[in-house]
Structure 1
Amino acid sequence: MQLTHLKKPIFKWQVSGVLLLSLLSGFALLATPVGQRLIAGPKPLYAYPFSLSLKSDNQQTVESAISFYQGRVQQRPEDGLDRAALAGAYLKMARVTGAANWYLLAEQEARQSLANLPFDNDGAVMVLAEVAQAKHEFAEAIRLANQVSGANSLTVVVTSKLAMGQLAEAETAADAMVDFVPALGSLSFRGLVRMARGNRAGALSDFQQAIAAEEPGEQRGSAQVRTFLGRLYAEQGKSEQAEKLYREALEIVPDYPLALQHLAQLETRQGHYRAARRQYSRLGRWATLQGVALQGMARVKGLQGRSAESEWQSAEAVLRSQIDQNALGHRRDLAHLLLERGQDQDVSEAITLMQTEVQNRRDAETLDLLAWALLRGGRQQEARIAIREALDQGVQDAGIFYRAADIETALNNSAKAKEYIRLAQAIDPTFDQQTRQRLGLVTPLVTPQ
Structure 2
Amino acid sequence: MDNQASRRSGHRVRNAVVALSLGAALFTAGAIGLAPGGSTSGASAPHAAPARGSLGALQARVKLVPKDAGAWAALGMAYVQQARTTADPATYERAEQALKRSLAVQRDDNINAEIGMGALAAARHDFRTALDWARRATTTDPYSSVAQGVLADAYTQLGQYPASYKAVQRMNDLRPDAPALARASYTFELRGETDQAVTLMRRSLDAASTTGERSFAHTVLSTLALQTGDTRQALQESETGLRNAPRDSALLEARARAEASLGQTQQAVADFEAAINIAPLPHYLLGLGELQQSLGHKEQAEAQYAVLRGQETIRRTGHTPADTDAILFEADHGNPARAVTMAQEALKTRPFIAIHDAYAWALHRAGRDEEALGQADQALALGTRSALFRYHRAVIQHALGDDAAARSDLETALHTEPHFHPLHAATARALLKRIDKTS
- Do both share a fold (TM > 0.5)? yes
Seen in structure 2, the aligned counterparts of structure 1 residues 434 and 246 have a Cα distance that, compared at 3 Å, is closer
2:238 aligned partner, one-letter code: Y
1:412-442 per-position Cα deviation (integer Å, ceiling 9, x unaligned): 11222222234334534x3588762579999
The gaps in structure 1 that reach 5 residues or longer are: 1-55, 443-449
Query: Which has the larger displacement, 407-416 or 235-244?
Result: 407-416
1:312 Cα deviation from its structure 2 partner: 5.0
**Correspondence 1:197-346 to 2 at 5 A:** 197-215=191-209, 218-287=210-279, 289=281, 291-308=282-299, 310-324=302-316, 326=318, 330-341=322-333, 346=335
Give the secondary-structure state (helix, strand or coil) at the position aligned to 1:165. Answer: coil
Alpha-carbon distance in 2 for matches of 1:117, 1:317: 42
Other structure's SS at 1:392 match: coil
CA gap of 1:65–1:90, structure 2 versus 1, over 3 A, is: farther
Question: Paired residue for 1:156?
Answer: 150
Matched ranges for 1:42-441 at <5 A: 61-73=53-65, 76=66, 80-95=69-84, 97-148=86-137, 149=141, 150-215=144-209, 218-287=210-279, 289=281, 291-308=282-299, 310-324=302-316, 326=318, 330-341=322-333, 346-428=335-417, 430-431=418-419, 436-437=424-425
- Distance, in Å, in 2 between the alignment partners of 1:310 and 1:229 is 31
Shift of 1:267: 2.5
Where in structure 2 are there 5+ consecutive unaligned residues?
1-47, 431-439
Shift of the 435–300 alpha-carbon distance from structure 1 to 2, 3 Å rule, reads closer
SS of alignment partner, residue 362 of structure 1: coil
Equivalent residues of 1:227, 1:246 under 8 A apart:
yes
CA distance in 2, matches of 1:95, 1:380: 35
TM-score w.r.t. the length of structure 1 is 0.76
The 3 A distance-change label for structure 1 pair 181 and 110 is same
2:362 partner letter? A
Cα deviation 1:152-180 (Å, max 9, x = unaligned):
11111222222233322222211111111
- 1:20 matched to which residue of 2? none
Cα–Cα, structure 1 residues 304 and 440, in superposed 2: closer, same or farther, change >3 Å? farther
| Contact 2:414/2:425 (8 A) holds in 1 | no
- In the aligned structure 2, how far is the partner of 1:327 from the partner of 1:223? 32
Query: In structure 2, do the counterparts of structure 1 residues 330 and 264 end up closer, same or farther at CA, with 3 Å as the change threshold?
Result: farther
Larger-gyration structure (1/2): 1
Once the two structures are TM-superposed, the CA of residue 285 in structure 1 deviates from its matched residue by 2.6
Does the CA-based 8 Å contact 2:419-2:425 persist in structure 1? Answer: no
Return 93-102 or 403-412, whichever deviates more: 93-102
CA shift, 1:281, in A, is: 1.3
Residue identity matched to 2:254:
H
Deviations 1:332-385 (A, max 9, x none): 3322222232x5xx1111111111112222333222111111011111111000
TM-score if structure 2 supplies the norm length? Answer: 0.78
Query: Do the aligned partners of 1:198 and 1:394 also contact (CA within 8 Å) in 2?
Result: yes
- Note the C-alpha offset of 1:211: 1.9
State how many pairs are aligned. 378
Q: Is the 8 A contact 2:119 2:150 kept in 1?
A: yes
**How far apart in 1 are the matches of 2:423 and 2:233?**
18
Q: Report the identity percentage.
A: 22
- Summarize the Cα distance change of 1:411–1:95 in structure 2 as closer, same or farther, 3 Å threshold: closer
Structure 1 CA distance for aligned equivalents of residues 273 and 75 of structure 2 = 32
- The Cα of 1:318 is off from its aligned counterpart by 2.7
Q: Secondary structure at the match of 1:65?
A: helix
Asked if 2 retains the 8 angstrom alpha-carbon contact of 1:88 and 1:106, the reply is yes
Root mean square deviation of aligned Cα: 3.0
Equivalent AA in structure 2 for residue 427 of structure 1:
T
2: CA distance, partners of 1:96 / 1:398? 27
Q: Is the 8 A contact 2:50 2:75 kept in 1?
A: no
